[in-house]
Chains A and B, each alone.
Chain A
Amino acid sequence: MRILLIEDHVQLAGLVGRELQQEFGCTVTHKRDPVEAKDAYRAGEFDLAIVDLLYEHLNRDFEARRAAGKISLTSASLLVTGLAAVHHLMVPRQDIGVVIWTAGEANRRLHLLFAYEDLAVRVFCSKSSGTGRVDTLMEALKAAADGRTYIDPVLNSYLPADGVPTISDTILRDQSKRSIWRALALGARTRGQISEITGYSARTVGNLIPAMFDDLATLDSGLGRRDAPMAEIVSYASRNWEFFLDDTLRTMYP
């Protein structure tokens, strides 16, 4: 098996690559992030890909650009995450097997949901499996190669239950609302600031906020009724900024 491993933790990637090579005879090519991997997956020389979701150095670069005011909704690129690699790998080649390999943290939960719902990823493997060996990862790789579903019990809870509304049917449904989510993720806090970033009038923004909260409450049924929908969506956007400012998300849902 020819495997493309996209992982920013170089030490971990090296050890995993070595284990996969020695134990299972795989050929492993390591790339530090989806940007570096671009040429590799364009060449199409891989059967399988192991993709991490968030990359610390890319997050830091993006944060610095954001703090310097160099990010707008129309910037050439937003935050590049593992979704970019999954999208670029799976769209041209349906036959390539992709394994999402992540520790599973709060700031990755919407990425995991999106990968499952919109990118149809069906193989998820936790970085910290119980055995501490690569056998779980190998099991996931075999499932990906056979086109089977494999979901690590540690990551299963991040995926949606049957019949629950999807992200694209709720918070990503409408372009104007998506723009407002992104503006909030960029740091806008008032209708005026959102208006400056999105170009929508403050009145339009004000009218959309309650509907955005309803969408969010549909996605997160535990949210219930709230007296301050603006505060609630501001908090949600800032906690999940990595998702709302994801470059692939913007490509798929402008």
Chain B
Amino acid sequence: MVSTHARAGGKEAQLRVTRQLVEPLEWGGLAFQGAVLIQTALADPFSAAGRTVVLALGVAHLALAILAWRTKGPVARGGLPLTIWLAGAFVVPVVVALLAARGTYASSTACVPGCTYPSAPLFFVALSPWIAARALPRPIAAVSLMGAVCLEWFLLTYAINGTFTRTTGLSVMSSVILAVVAYGLGKLESILTGVVRKTQIEAEQQKNEEFFDFLHSHIKAGLASVKLEQPNVRAMLEKVSELEHTVSEQRITQLLSMDRVPLAMLCSERIRAFTGIIRIAETPRSGARTVPAPVATLIDRALGDLLKNAVLHGAATTWVRLTQQDDMLVLEIADDGPGFDEAIMENTGTSLHRLRASAHELGGDLRRIPHSPQGSRLILTVQTGEDRQEAGKR
């Protein structure tokens, strides 16, 4: 049941990715067709009137390409626009063939005039599984379309020239090869999209499963230790607190794996760990603010280390403030503990020293405010500009 849902979800995701890929590219297909017609009009032999018509068709396609770029293309529109576009793959080659100068159609072994015109629709049909799939099973629809396009060139060549020669035969065969290549490229692109999406889904699933497995095992182990402590309620409650702490740590780990971290959630999760242990008289408001992962990691470490220090050194109350000053985020943590000497900040073995080094890496600093009326007051600054975010990631 689950795997069926997963497969359906994966297929749906693949379809969504393909649609996202196809829709912005559609204008390119029309522009390609326009360019093919203009090139044909200029390079292949036509009567003056015929050349004008083919040229006009090319310009019309370019106009449609602009329209598709500004709004939607035929695939995205579906229905009649899509039908007309697909029908064009059959109609335009006939028009080009009828307008070609007498005795010149399929006279080049390179290919027939405008032979790459149907390539764009064939490419998109191969790439877009939903086109024509509703009407016929996909392989039949695709083969029918390919076959019809290729057969049309044979029929046109025979109807116009009355016979097949080696040259006309090679001309049509070259056109067929180009059409098959276009369809094949679309198909390849479709397969690649599927493979990429499948790999992505599998990687995401694996990551989630690993995360959930660890969390699950932590919870099971935590609950087992709670049971083992019975009937000692005090010890049981301690184990519950430990379990709560573990879950919170796991949540923070997951939070910090995001590109942009909601500051509110990070602060909330860290502050939650210290409620009931120390009085937090002031907490910051962050609203909808997010920060890049490196900045969030530093703030998380600062909150964790500094609040823990306050508890360890016997402070009863702490104050946490977070403000933005230009492009610097300023975290201020004060407590009413005994305070500490500046030399501690210089000791390489302390968390404060390491925290300051990390702040420097992100263009910030960790400072102790001396002679604070309260026990200790530390200010962490961190730059939140784009350049610094990139530096932090590196």
Interface residues of A (CB under 8 A from B): 104-106, 109-110, 113, 126, 128-132, 153-162, 164, 167, 187, 189-193, 195, 201-203, 206, 219-225
Contact = CB atoms under 8 A, between A and B. Distances in A.
A133 to B, nearest CB: 10
Given A158-B285, A222-B260, A224-B386, 5 more contacts: A109-B265, A130-B274, A130-B277, A161-B286, A220-B290
Given A154-B272, A156-B284, A109 B262 contact: yes
Contact of A190 (B23, B264, B291, B324): B23
A110 B288 contact: yes
Contacts of B288: 109-110, 113, 160, 167, 219-220
B23 A192 contact: yes
B264 A131 contact: no
A106 B271 contact: no
9 contacts: A106-B265, A109-B288, A126-B272, A130-B276, A154-B268, A157-B271, A202-B72, A202-B76, A222-B291
Given A128-B244, A130-B275, A156-B284, A104 B72 contact: no
B289 A220 contact: yes
Given A106-B255, A130-B276, A156 B285 contact: yes
Nearest to B386: A224
B373 interface: no
Residue in A105, A106, A195 whose Cβ sees the most chain B Cβ within 10 Å: A106
B338 interface: no
Interface in B233-277: 237, 240, 244, 255, 260, 262-265, 267-268, 271-272, 274-277
Interface string B69-95: 011110011000000000000000000
A158 B272 contact: no
Interface of B: 16, 19-20, 23-24, 70-73, 76-77, 237, 240, 244, 255, 260, 262-265, 267-268, 271-272, 274-277, 280, 283-292, 324, 384-386
B72 A157 contact: no
A104 B265 contact: yes
Contacts of A222: 260, 263, 289-292, 384
Contacts of A201: 71
A195 B333 CA distance: 49
A128 B272 contact: yes
A157 B267 contact: yes
A13 B244 CA distance: 20
Contacts of A220: 288-290
B9 to A, nearest CB: 9
Contacts of B77: 192
Contact of B262 (A106, A128, A187, A219): A106
A104 B71 contact: no
A120 B165 CA distance: 85
Contacts, number: 115
A224 B255 CA distance: 20
Nearest to A216: B288
A125 B43 CA distance: 77
A219 B265 CA distance: 16
B275 A157 contact: no
A195 B86 CA distance: 23
B23 A157 contact: no
Nearest to A108: B265
A221 B289 contact: yes
B285 A160 contact: yes
Given A109-B262, A160-B285, A154 B19 contact: no
Given A128-B244, A156-B284, A220-B289, A104 B263 contact: no
A155 B285 CA distance: 9
Question: Which 3 A-B pairs have CB atoms at the shortest separation, nearest pair first?
Answer: A130-B276, A130-B275, A192-B76
Contacts of B72: 191-192, 195, 202
Given A190-B23, A190-B76, A193-B19, A157 B264 contact: yes
B275 A154 contact: yes
A109 B264 contact: yes
A152 B157 CA distance: 82
B146 to A, nearest CB: 26
B19 A190 contact: yes
A202 B289 contact: no
B285 A189 contact: no
Contact of A158 (B23, B24, B268, B280): B268
